[in-house]
Structure 1
Amino acid sequence: MKQCTHLDALPHPEPAPLSETCLECQAAGTNPVQLRLCEVCGHVGCCDSSPLRHATEHFKETGHPVMRTLETGESWRWCFVDHVLV
Structure 2
Amino acid sequence: MNSSETGINPLAEPTGTGCVECLNGDGPGWWMHLRRCAECGHIGCCDSSPSQHGTKHARDVEHPVITSFEPGEDWFWNEQTQQFFRGPELAAPHSYPESQPAPGPAGRVPTDWKDHLHR
TM-score range, shorter chain: 0.7 to 0.9
In structure 2, stretches of 5+ residues that fail to align are 86-119
* Aligned counterpart, 1:73: 72
* Aligned counterpart, 2:15: 18
Change (3 A) 1:57 1:6: farther
Is 1:49 the counterpart of 2:38? The answer is no
Aligned length: 81
Question: Which residues in structure 2 correspond to 1:17-36 (within 5 Å)?
Answer: 17-26=14-23, 27-28=25-26, 29-36=28-35
Conservation of the 8 A alpha-carbon contact between 2:58 and 2:64: yes
Greater helix proportion:
1
Structure with the greater alpha carbon radius of gyration? 2
User: Aligned Cα RMSD in Å?
Assistant: 2.0
In structure 1, stretches of 5+ residues that fail to align are none
Stretches (4+) displaced over 4 A: 5-8
SS at match of 2:70: coil
Q: For structure 1, which segment, 24-33 or 46-55, has the greater mean C-alpha deviation from structure 2 after superposition?
A: 24-33
